[in-house]
Structure 1
Amino acid sequence: MVVHGSYLPRLVDGRIAEMLSELPAVLLVGPRATGKTTTAARHARTVVRLDEPGEAVAFRADPDAALRQFPEPVLLDEWQVVPDVLGAIKRAVDVDPSPGRFLVAGSVRADLQAQSWPGTGRLVRLAMAGLAMREITGRIDGPTFFDRVVDGGLDSLRPPDDPPDLVGYIELALRSGFPEPALRLSPARREDWLDSYLDQLLTRDVELLGESRDPDRLRRFFEVLALNSAGIVTNKTVFEAARINAKTADAYEGLFRNLLVVDSLPSWWTNRLKRLVQVPKRYLTDPGLIGAALRVDVPAVLRDGDLLGRILDTFVVAQLRAEVPVSSSRPRLHHLRQEAGRHEVDILVELGGGRVIGLEVKADAAPGRDAGRHLAWLCDELDDRFLAGVVLHTGRRIYPLGANIVAAPIATLWS
């Protein structure tokens, strides 16, 4: 992507360079239009666009011979259009495992789970999310939010100079993390772009996976997922709301997961806690798609308290998701909920050694001590395994809520 004629650095840039300095092949995976090609191209001498028919012909005919013709590192973009190219990379790496030979980029993950996938042990996967606010504001240097808390504790958090208010956060969320609408388009054209993205997702992108589905039913199902983003709902609730059967719902959700626009936080489990609900918490990977799917703007979100909370939660998880692959502390994102909702934590970050960070997201400019009660419970239950708790809010200040628990503006994630 280009901003005022220059490249906007991404969080994964440093990690790509590090990986290519030691590994022969790196697989960059993320949703379509998140900037993978632009970023990966900066680390390559040759760029091959396999979604362009003219460039794909040779790789369909003889991928091994085609691969040998280009100066390395070679970027092979949209590998899923010519999946046989992965076999050619495997064979090339087996013969010569020198570092920095290939970059592979794609916007699906369907074949990554296949037992016969040739990339195992040859291509090392790196996830790339949409633009995070750290990237948009030019603050990619320094430790991630996770690493700051691990290394410096809650004292390492600093209040932002000029944080958004509630309306500002909703505007940022609906603007999306796709570079084109987030950086270059007016609000009206941004809506057009996101509507078009969703239309293509439901038609062209689904067909690229070799699927033929009813776009109207797919759209209805996606709308249900959008309404329930950041929610803990049963599969039955989802497919009944979409007016389809369980088998169809499973197939549809699999499609959207393979296209990397739907994800989930798994429920966290420990034998220290009882009656934990083992249901994943679904998310759209970009909050802007919620606005596109439901056709809502900022005033509409502000009038719907349930949707407001879901969009804020989805926005926060999008910021964190971008930092996970580049964090030294190797975090994993979960959620926690006991039966009947007696205790729940919006986002539970699991670190090495069984340590955890608990995060709550509140549409409140000045949450009180009660907003951290679930974090305080978790701290009591886990003792020294509980590293810190943060209630992320829409106000301006950082202040304590209890032992190892603070309230902090959402913008603290990128300040």
Structure 2
Amino acid sequence: MYINRLIEKSLRDAVAKKKSVLLLGPRQTGKTTLLQRLSPARLLNLANPDQRQRYEKRPAVLIDEIHDLEAESGLPAGKAGVPPLVVIDEVQKVPALMDALQVLIDEKKAIFILTGSSARKLRRGSHINLLPGRVLAYRLDPFRREEYAKGSLQDQLLYGALPVVVLDPTPEAREQALRSYVTTYLEEEVRAEALVRNLSPFGRFLELAASESGGLINLRKPSQEIGVSHVTIGSYFQILEDCLIVERIDPLTRSATRKKLTRGSKYLFFDLGVRRLAAQEGRRLPLESWGRLLEQWVGLELLRSMRQGPGHLRFWRDATGPEVDWVIEQEGRLIPIEVKWTETPTQQDARHLQTFLAEYPEAEKGIVVCRTPHAMQLAPRIRAIPWQDLPKIKLS
């Protein structure tokens, strides 16, 4: 069963304008399935060892193949004067191809959609051409609530939103799919790219990082528990970020009155099901865990909805006072958002939002996301909404 992805329209629009695209996203988020719907003239999968080795030996062979594809079309620029669409899956596997791609894009020989599940080699490798100004960059995440609304809240917090997981009908099959993902795609991806020489401390770090997802990035605690340096822990966090496993969220730090606002970033695992298995947690979670998971779910939904927009997701925290879980910052305006596990929110749940609204005139309203069955007014300019209504949040 195919589930429509919201990003598909943007990709079709880019291709219609003869623009090439770099589509990044974690493994198994549905990139290949989505791009097959665009009916490419050629689809190259560099995760395939035979294809990968051919281009590793001579990257320029791609230029010859695209010229041959152009000749096969019978027209100088593809059918009806439109360059052929070529998809190259897992392009980071052969970063040397980027120079050949630059030539082909400049010559308008084809429209390319390049996919990658790790930005590390593309961003940090030496002599790698990132095709600046030549491609449009997009990100494909696990399902958003707007794309796939089935399943209870608890299911979404336990199993996440990877297509290969949520489309499986039984809890046991979902659990096995997540376990396979953690061992195959997290541990082996790191090993295959030679990112870590000694996997044992990294494996322990991965478990700790998953357990602390949603919190501030802390180098000291895992350094002490694992017995490696702060520098090593920092490099581990960078690996997770570059491999699209975690996302960094920076705080809102400007204030006319407060001097002790947190300046450190916090992070989220890209998928709550992967997070749980990486943390080696079962399906029976203590009551206090659900609120933290709902907060992370809200953060992930907000991040995904803001991918292509001008805004940023922040959080707000005074080391000695109030804090707000999430703050949408967009076009000079702010929306503070608190997340509560309660089904019966009260004005007490809005107290930090009231403080925020009083201190930031560019914030016109605040929102409490919780399990209430109906939206309700908690205080002037502050409403509680059901978690299902999160996609409806707008600045206006």
Q: How far 1:284 moved relative to its partner?
A: 0.7
Higher CA-based Rg: 2
- The equivalent of 2:354 in structure 1 is 376
* TM value normalised by structure 1: 0.84
- The equivalent of 2:123 in structure 1 is 113
Matched, 1:333 2:313: yes
- Find the partner of 2:336 among 352, 358, 361: 358
| Equivalent AA in structure 2 for residue 203 of structure 1 | E
| Equivalent AA in structure 2 for residue 365 of structure 1 | E
Structure 2 CA distance for aligned equivalents of residues 213 and 312 of structure 1 = 35
Q: Is the contact made by 1:15 and 1:326 (CA closer than 8 Å) also made in structure 2? A: no
Q: Deviations over 1:324-345 (max 9, x none)?
A: 2245xx32111111122x1211
- Find the partner of 2:168 among 180, 184, 187: 184
Q: How far 1:116 moved relative to its partner?
A: 4.6
| Equivalent AA in structure 2 for residue 323 of structure 1 | S
| Equivalent AA in structure 1 for residue 329 of structure 2 | E
Q: Is the contact made by 1:309 and 1:362 (CA closer than 8 Å) also made in structure 2? A: yes
Task: Report the secondary structure of 1:87's partner residue.
Answer: helix
Q: How far 1:137 moved relative to its partner?
A: 3.1
**Cα 1:70/1:363, change in 2 over 3 Å:** farther
- Find the partner of 1:244 among 209, 228, 234: 228
Matched, 1:219 2:207: no
- Find the partner of 1:231 among 196, 215, 218: 215
Q: Is the contact made by 1:336 and 1:345 (CA closer than 8 Å) also made in structure 2? A: yes
Consecutive aligned runs of 4 or more in structure 1 exceeding 4 Å deviation: none
Structure 2 CA distance for aligned equivalents of residues 273 and 13 of structure 1 = 45
**Cα 1:357/1:85, change in 2 over 3 Å:** same
Q: Deviations over 1:211-250 (max 9, x none)?
A: 2433332221111111111112532123224443212211
- The equivalent of 2:80 in structure 1 is none
Q: How far 1:371 moved relative to its partner?
A: 1.1
| Equivalent AA in structure 2 for residue 184 of structure 1 | D
Q: How far 1:291 moved relative to its partner?
A: 1.8
Q: Is the contact made by 2:268 and 2:300 (CA closer than 8 Å) also made in structure 1? A: no
Structure 1 CA distance for aligned equivalents of residues 381 and 208 of structure 2 = 37
- Find the partner of 1:81 among 86, 90, 93: 93
Q: Is the contact made by 2:246 and 2:267 (CA closer than 8 Å) also made in structure 1? A: yes
**Cα 1:322/1:45, change in 2 over 3 Å:** farther
**Cα 1:112/1:376, change in 2 over 3 Å:** farther
- Find the partner of 1:346 among 312, 316, 325: 325
**Cα 1:41/1:234, change in 2 over 3 Å:** same
Structure 2 CA distance for aligned equivalents of residues 128 and 106 of structure 1 = 10
- The equivalent of 1:141 in structure 2 is none
- The equivalent of 2:46 in structure 1 is 50
Structure 2 CA distance for aligned equivalents of residues 267 and 78 of structure 1 = 32
| Equivalent AA in structure 2 for residue 102 of structure 1 | F
RMSD: 2.2
- The equivalent of 2:104 in structure 1 is 92
- The equivalent of 1:159 in structure 2 is none
Structure 2 CA distance for aligned equivalents of residues 74 and 365 of structure 1 = 50
Structure 2 CA distance for aligned equivalents of residues 206 and 67 of structure 1 = 32
Q: Is the contact made by 1:81 and 1:208 (CA closer than 8 Å) also made in structure 2? A: no
Report which of the two has the higher share of helix: 1
Structure 2 CA distance for aligned equivalents of residues 21 and 387 of structure 1 = 39
Structure 1: runs of 5+ lacking an equivalent: 139-163
Aligned residues: 372
| Equivalent AA in structure 2 for residue 356 of structure 1 | L
Q: Percent identity, please.
A: 24
Q: Is the contact made by 1:396 and 1:409 (CA closer than 8 Å) also made in structure 2? A: yes
Larger displacement relative to structure 2 (109-118 or 250-259) = 109-118
Task: Report the secondary structure of 1:387's partner residue.
Answer: coil
- Find the partner of 2:381 among 399, 404, 413: 404
* TM value normalised by structure 2: 0.87
Matched, 1:104 2:103: no
Structure 1 CA distance for aligned equivalents of residues 212 and 123 of structure 2 = 26
Q: How far 1:404 moved relative to its partner?
A: 2.1
- Find the partner of 1:40 among 14, 32, 35: 35
Structure 1 CA distance for aligned equivalents of residues 68 and 192 of structure 2 = 27
Choose between structure 1 and 2 for higher RCO, CA contacts under 8 A separated by at least 6 residues: 1
Structure 2 CA distance for aligned equivalents of residues 395 and 242 of structure 1 = 41
Structure 2: runs of 5+ lacking an equivalent: 71-83
| Equivalent AA in structure 2 for residue 213 of structure 1 | R
Structure 2 CA distance for aligned equivalents of residues 187 and 69 of structure 1 = 48
